[in-house]
């Protein structure tokens, strides 16, 4: 198994403003990649999620172009929350690049805008792919003809938008009304929707983003994709656009997921597009089972994001999910 390099950085998208309306939009990123550096991987811990055995700022194993996997984290999370998947794919020879989505990541203060304007996440990954593939450490090392993507929870909206799904806030409001959903945001920011009137009045960045929610964010460079525990915002997609997604799409879920009930999310997606492949990893697998372990081991079993049903082994679920995703990506990317 190849050793795993790890590095982080930040780029800025000059075409979009930050949520503070004071400058360009930052896109913090984390990357995992194959390396031939000598020695064992050095355990490095990130403030919240464990990183495992990685070699910080290692050299690339080759200067030849490598296949790429783009990652999109869940609501309020970080790219490192999917480190279990990133390390495994890097050992297979992929460069794995995860965005930390501005305003909706644990790396910075939360912004209501980041919890409302989901579509900006898709643009983050497209900009990252272009920027990192043409300048900096990964310049000329990313194979734009072999790009895939994976996202967890709200990251599922990111991946589907990149694959051609079109957002309609009217569609989302109709679904919420039909199911008597009154909460205006996820538990990380439950009153996010209450901020909309003020933001429309005071924030140019928000107005610009809100007005383009229905834009096409398709990135034709991205082919096979995996969506893990897709969250309710996927119900903002028009059924017609989901039906027209033509890239290979694998969906992974757990049977004990109140955050992203399969009946409303994954099952609905499969009904719209018969080409989507759905894998249920077990009736007691929860939403947060798909997250990495914490860097602070005593948190296991203490926080809901690190607590699983007594019958569930999180590591084995990760291994099972990795196997499914690996087979999908390796088969299609070659």
**Residue 264 exposed, middle or buried by CB count within 10 Å (0-12, 13-18, 19+):** middle
pLDDT tens, position by position, 78-128:
999 999 999 999 999 999 999 999 999 999 999 999 999 999 999 999 999
pTM of the model: 0.95
What's the confidence (pLDDT) of residue 8?
96
Cβ atoms of 124 and 27 closer than 8 Å: yes
Look up the domain containing 236 and give its range. Answer: 3-333
Per-position DSSP letters for 300-330, written without gaps between them:
TTTSGGG---TT--HHHHHHHHHHHHHHHHH
Does residue 45 surpass a pLDDT of 70? no
Could you tell me which residue, 161 or 182, shows the higher pLDDT?
161
Query: Helix (H, G, I), strand (E, B), or coil: what is residue 224?
Result: strand
In the chain, the number of structural domains is 1
Rounded CA-CA distance 54/51 in Å is: 7
The CATH number assigned to the domain holding 208 equals: 3.40.50.1820
How far apart, in whole angstroms, are the C-alpha atoms of residue 28 and residue 280? 32
pLDDT band at 38 (very low <50, low <70, confident <90, very high): low
pLDDT digits (tens, 9 = 90+) for 19-28: 999 999 999 9
**DSSP secondary structure string, 65-82?**
-EEEEEEE--TT--GGGG
Q: For the residues 151-175, what does the mean pLDDT come to?
A: 97
pLDDT of 334: 42
């Amino acid at each position: 198994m190849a050793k795993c390099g790890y590095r982080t950085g930040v780029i800025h998208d000059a075409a979009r403003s930050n949520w503070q309306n004071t400058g360009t939009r930052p896109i913090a990123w984390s990357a995992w990649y194959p390396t031939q550096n000598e020695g064992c991987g050095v355990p490095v811990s990130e403030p919240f999620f464990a990183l495992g055995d990685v070699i910080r700022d290692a050299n690339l194993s080759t200067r030849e172009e490598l296949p790429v996997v783009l990652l999109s984290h869940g609501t309020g999370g970080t790219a490192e929350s999917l480190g279990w998947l990133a390390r495994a794919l890097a050992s297979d020879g992929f460069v794995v690049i995860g965005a930390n989505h501005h305003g909706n990541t644990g790396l910075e203060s939360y912004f209501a805008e980041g919890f409302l304007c989901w579509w900006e996440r898709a643009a983050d990954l497209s900009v990252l792919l272009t920027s990192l593939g043409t300048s900096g450490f990964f310049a000329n090392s990313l194979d734009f003809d072999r790009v895939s993507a994976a996202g967890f929870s709200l990251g599922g909206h990111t991946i589907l938008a990149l694959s051609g799904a079109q957002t309609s806030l009217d569609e989302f409001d109709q679904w919420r009304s039909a199911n008597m959903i009154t909460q205006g945001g996820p538990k990380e920011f439950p009153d996010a929707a209450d901020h909309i009137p003020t933001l429309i009045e005071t924030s140019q960045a928000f107005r610009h983003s809100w007005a383009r929610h229905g834009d096409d964010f398709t990135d034709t460079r991205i082919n096979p994709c995996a969506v893990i525990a897709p969250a309710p915002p996927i119900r903002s997609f028009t059924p017609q656009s989901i039906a027209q997604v033509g890239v290979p799409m694998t969906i992974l879920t757990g049977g004990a997921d109140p955050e992203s009930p399969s009946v409303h999310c994954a099952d609905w997606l499969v009904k719209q597009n018969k080409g989507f492949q759905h894998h249920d990893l077990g009736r007691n697998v929860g939403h947060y089972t798909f997250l990495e372990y914490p860097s602070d081991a005593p948190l296991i079993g203490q926080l809901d994001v690190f607590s699983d049903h007594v019958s569930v082994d999180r590591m084995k679920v990760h291994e099972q999910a990795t196997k499914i995703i690996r087979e999908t990506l390796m088969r299609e990317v070659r």
